[in-house]
A and B are shown apart, each in its own frame.
Chain A
Protein backbone atom coordinates (compact mmCIF):
# COMPACT_ATOMS: atom_id res chain seq x y z
CA UNK A 1 0.00 0.00 0.00
CA UNK A 2 1.31 3.42 -0.94
CA UNK A 3 1.71 5.59 2.12
CA UNK A 4 3.05 8.57 0.17
CA UNK A 5 2.12 10.46 -2.97
CA UNK A 6 4.74 12.24 -5.05
CA UNK A 7 4.61 13.89 -8.47
CA UNK A 8 6.18 11.57 -11.06
CA UNK A 9 8.55 14.19 -12.43
CA UNK A 10 9.86 17.72 -11.94
CA UNK A 11 12.37 20.01 -13.59
CA UNK A 12 14.59 22.54 -11.89
CA UNK A 13 17.05 25.07 -13.28
CA UNK A 14 20.65 24.61 -12.23
CA UNK A 15 21.51 26.84 -9.27
CA UNK A 16 17.91 27.28 -8.22
CA UNK A 17 16.22 25.64 -5.25
CA UNK A 18 14.48 22.35 -5.96
CA UNK A 19 11.36 21.84 -3.87
CA UNK A 20 10.06 18.28 -3.94
CA UNK A 21 6.63 17.73 -2.36
CA UNK A 22 5.30 14.63 -0.70
CA UNK A 23 1.85 13.89 0.69
CA UNK A 24 1.50 11.42 3.54
CA UNK A 25 -1.96 12.11 4.91
CA UNK A 26 -2.24 8.77 6.76
CA UNK A 27 1.05 9.07 8.63
CA UNK A 28 0.97 7.73 12.18
CA UNK A 29 2.27 9.58 15.19
CA UNK A 30 5.33 7.33 15.51
CA UNK A 31 6.26 7.34 11.82
CA UNK A 32 9.16 9.34 10.47
CA UNK A 33 9.48 10.88 7.03
CA UNK A 34 12.59 9.74 5.16
CA UNK A 35 14.01 10.91 1.88
CA UNK A 36 16.31 8.89 -0.31
CA UNK A 37 17.49 9.48 -3.84
CA UNK A 38 18.72 7.20 -6.58
CA UNK A 39 21.04 8.44 -9.24
CA UNK A 40 20.86 6.46 -12.47
CA UNK A 41 22.16 2.88 -12.10
CA UNK A 42 23.33 3.43 -8.52
CA UNK A 43 21.96 2.24 -5.19
CA UNK A 44 19.63 4.55 -3.27
CA UNK A 45 21.29 7.17 -1.07
CA UNK A 46 19.89 8.36 2.23
CA UNK A 47 19.34 12.14 2.33
CA UNK A 48 17.48 13.18 5.47
CA UNK A 49 14.68 12.26 7.83
CA UNK A 50 12.43 13.93 10.39
CA UNK A 51 9.54 13.36 12.76
CA UNK A 52 7.80 16.71 13.15
CA UNK A 53 10.44 19.41 13.27
CA UNK A 54 12.15 20.83 10.24
CA UNK A 55 15.56 19.34 9.63
CA UNK A 56 18.62 20.47 7.74
CA UNK A 57 21.88 18.78 6.87
CA UNK A 58 24.66 19.32 4.37
CA UNK A 59 22.58 17.88 1.54
CA UNK A 60 19.09 19.24 2.01
CA UNK A 61 16.36 20.65 4.20
CA UNK A 62 13.16 18.89 5.17
CA UNK A 63 10.05 20.91 5.92
CA UNK A 64 7.19 19.00 7.56
CA UNK A 65 3.79 20.67 7.92
CA UNK A 66 2.38 21.12 11.38
CA UNK A 67 -0.30 18.47 10.82
CA UNK A 68 2.46 16.17 9.41
CA UNK A 69 0.32 15.28 6.40
CA UNK A 70 2.82 16.57 3.91
CA UNK A 71 6.46 17.52 3.60
CA UNK A 72 8.88 19.18 1.20
CA UNK A 73 12.46 18.30 0.49
CA UNK A 74 14.51 21.33 -0.48
CA UNK A 75 17.79 21.18 -2.36
CA UNK A 76 18.91 24.79 -1.94
CA UNK A 77 21.14 25.11 -5.00
CA UNK A 78 20.46 22.28 -7.43
CA UNK A 79 23.34 21.03 -9.57
CA UNK A 80 23.36 18.68 -12.53
CA UNK A 81 24.55 15.93 -10.15
CA UNK A 82 21.25 16.22 -8.27
CA UNK A 83 19.39 14.74 -11.25
CA UNK A 84 17.91 11.57 -9.75
CA UNK A 85 14.75 9.84 -8.58
CA UNK A 86 13.76 11.08 -5.12
CA UNK A 87 11.80 8.82 -2.79
CA UNK A 88 9.69 9.97 0.13
CA UNK A 89 9.10 7.19 2.66
CA UNK A 90 7.19 7.07 5.92
CA UNK A 91 8.30 4.46 8.40
CA UNK A 92 8.50 3.70 12.07
CA UNK A 93 11.88 3.96 13.68
CA UNK A 94 13.88 0.80 13.16
CA UNK A 95 11.45 -0.61 10.60
CA UNK A 96 12.98 -3.12 8.26
CA UNK A 97 10.68 -2.79 5.27
CA UNK A 98 10.96 0.57 3.56
CA UNK A 99 8.29 1.15 0.91
CA UNK A 100 10.02 3.07 -1.84
CA UNK A 101 7.20 3.59 -4.32
CA UNK A 102 8.09 5.13 -7.68
CA UNK A 103 9.32 8.52 -6.44
CA UNK A 104 9.81 11.82 -8.27
CA UNK A 105 12.24 12.01 -11.14
CA UNK A 106 14.03 15.36 -10.76
CA UNK A 107 15.83 16.70 -13.80
CA UNK A 108 18.17 19.62 -13.24
CA UNK A 109 18.43 21.66 -16.41
CA UNK A 110 21.57 23.64 -17.30
Chain B
Protein backbone atom coordinates (compact mmCIF):
# COMPACT_ATOMS: atom_id res chain seq x y z
CA UNK B 1 0.00 0.00 0.00
CA UNK B 2 1.10 3.56 -0.78
CA UNK B 3 0.70 4.95 2.74
CA UNK B 4 -2.75 6.45 2.30
CA UNK B 5 -5.53 6.24 4.82
CA UNK B 6 -9.06 7.57 4.60
CA UNK B 7 -11.41 8.31 7.44
CA UNK B 8 -14.08 7.47 8.14
CA UNK B 9 -14.34 4.32 6.05
CA UNK B 10 -18.11 4.28 6.30
CA UNK B 11 -20.56 7.04 7.16
CA UNK B 12 -24.32 7.41 7.13
CA UNK B 13 -25.69 10.90 7.45
CA UNK B 14 -28.86 12.86 6.81
CA UNK B 15 -29.64 15.33 4.06
CA UNK B 16 -28.56 18.85 4.94
CA UNK B 17 -25.83 17.94 7.40
CA UNK B 18 -22.18 18.88 6.86
CA UNK B 19 -19.72 16.05 6.26
CA UNK B 20 -15.93 16.08 6.16
CA UNK B 21 -13.85 13.22 4.79
CA UNK B 22 -10.15 13.01 5.53
CA UNK B 23 -7.31 11.70 3.42
CA UNK B 24 -3.95 11.23 5.13
CA UNK B 25 -0.68 10.28 3.47
CA UNK B 26 2.68 9.36 4.92
CA UNK B 27 4.57 9.66 1.60
CA UNK B 28 5.03 13.46 1.49
CA UNK B 29 3.76 13.54 -2.10
CA UNK B 30 2.83 16.85 -3.63
CA UNK B 31 -0.35 15.91 -5.48
CA UNK B 32 -3.53 14.70 -3.81
CA UNK B 33 -6.91 13.94 -5.37
CA UNK B 34 -10.52 13.27 -4.43
CA UNK B 35 -12.65 11.08 -6.71
CA UNK B 36 -16.16 9.72 -6.41
CA UNK B 37 -17.31 6.42 -7.86
CA UNK B 38 -20.88 5.67 -8.81
CA UNK B 39 -22.36 2.74 -10.74
CA UNK B 40 -22.14 3.30 -14.47
CA UNK B 41 -19.80 6.29 -14.17
CA UNK B 42 -16.42 4.93 -13.18
CA UNK B 43 -14.32 7.30 -11.10
CA UNK B 44 -14.78 11.05 -11.52
CA UNK B 45 -12.44 13.73 -10.22
CA UNK B 46 -13.93 16.13 -7.66
CA UNK B 47 -10.98 18.31 -6.62
CA UNK B 48 -7.25 18.02 -6.49
CA UNK B 49 -4.33 19.71 -4.76
CA UNK B 50 -0.87 20.49 -6.07
CA UNK B 51 0.53 21.74 -2.79
CA UNK B 52 -0.35 23.18 0.59
CA UNK B 53 -3.19 25.64 0.12
CA UNK B 54 -3.14 25.02 -3.66
CA UNK B 55 -6.26 23.33 -4.98
CA UNK B 56 -8.27 23.16 -8.18
CA UNK B 57 -11.62 21.85 -9.35
CA UNK B 58 -12.27 18.61 -11.16
CA UNK B 59 -15.18 17.65 -13.36
CA UNK B 60 -17.77 17.17 -10.57
CA UNK B 61 -16.84 19.82 -8.01
CA UNK B 62 -20.28 21.36 -7.39
CA UNK B 63 -21.37 20.88 -3.79
CA UNK B 64 -17.87 20.06 -2.56
CA UNK B 65 -15.03 22.06 -1.08
CA UNK B 66 -11.52 21.00 -0.12
CA UNK B 67 -8.70 22.18 2.07
CA UNK B 68 -5.06 21.31 2.43
CA UNK B 69 -3.31 23.03 5.32
CA UNK B 70 -0.61 20.37 5.66
CA UNK B 71 1.18 18.25 3.07
CA UNK B 72 -0.14 15.05 4.59
CA UNK B 73 -3.84 15.88 4.87
CA UNK B 74 -6.45 16.65 2.21
CA UNK B 75 -9.98 17.24 3.44
CA UNK B 76 -13.17 16.97 1.40
CA UNK B 77 -16.22 18.79 2.77
CA UNK B 78 -19.83 18.49 1.80
CA UNK B 79 -21.30 21.68 3.28
CA UNK B 80 -24.88 20.39 3.10
CA UNK B 81 -25.06 16.78 2.06
CA UNK B 82 -27.64 15.67 -0.51
CA UNK B 83 -28.79 12.20 -1.50
CA UNK B 84 -27.04 12.61 -4.87
CA UNK B 85 -23.74 12.68 -2.98
CA UNK B 86 -24.22 9.12 -1.79
CA UNK B 87 -21.16 7.47 -3.28
CA UNK B 88 -17.82 5.84 -2.64
CA UNK B 89 -15.09 8.43 -2.30
CA UNK B 90 -11.46 7.67 -3.11
CA UNK B 91 -8.41 9.70 -2.32
CA UNK B 92 -5.26 9.39 -4.42
CA UNK B 93 -1.71 10.71 -4.28
CA UNK B 94 0.95 11.24 -6.92
CA UNK B 95 4.64 11.94 -6.58
CA UNK B 96 5.93 15.02 -8.37
CA UNK B 97 7.93 13.24 -11.06
CA UNK B 98 5.62 10.29 -11.60
CA UNK B 99 2.52 9.85 -13.72
CA UNK B 100 0.88 7.15 -11.66
CA UNK B 101 -1.69 7.84 -8.98
CA UNK B 102 -1.93 5.67 -5.88
CA UNK B 103 -5.32 5.24 -4.29
CA UNK B 104 -6.60 4.90 -0.77
CA UNK B 105 -9.11 2.28 0.42
CA UNK B 106 -12.18 4.49 -0.06
CA UNK B 107 -14.98 5.92 2.08
CA UNK B 108 -18.53 4.75 1.58
CA UNK B 109 -20.92 7.65 2.26
CA UNK B 110 -24.67 7.26 2.44
CA UNK B 111 -26.88 10.35 2.63
CA UNK B 112 -30.43 9.57 3.70
Chain B contributes a number of interface residues (CB within 8 A of A) equal to 24
Question: Taking beta carbons and an 8 Å cutoff, which residues of A are in contact with B?
Answer: 32, 34, 41-46, 49, 87, 91, 93-103
Chain A residues with CB under 8 Å of B45's CB are: 96-98
* Chain B residues in 8 Å Cβ range of A94: 99
Given the complex, which residues of B lie within 8 Å of A100, measured CB to CB?
Answer: 42-44
Can you name 13 A-B pairs with beta carbons within 8 Å? Answer: A34-B100, A41-B106, A42-B105, A44-B101, A45-B103, A49-B100, A91-B99, A96-B33, A96-B45, A97-B59, A99-B42, A102-B40, A102-B42
Residues of B at under 8 Å CB distance from A? Answer: 4, 31, 33, 40-45, 48, 50, 56, 58-59, 90, 92, 99-106
Q: CB distance A44 to B103 under 8 Å?
A: yes
Q: Is there contact, CB below 8 Å, between B103 and A93?
A: no
User: Smallest Cβ distance from B66 to chain A, in angstroms?
Assistant: 13
Query: Complex: how many Å from CA A43 to CA B99?
Result: 17
- Does A44 lie within 8 Å of B43, measured CB to CB? yes
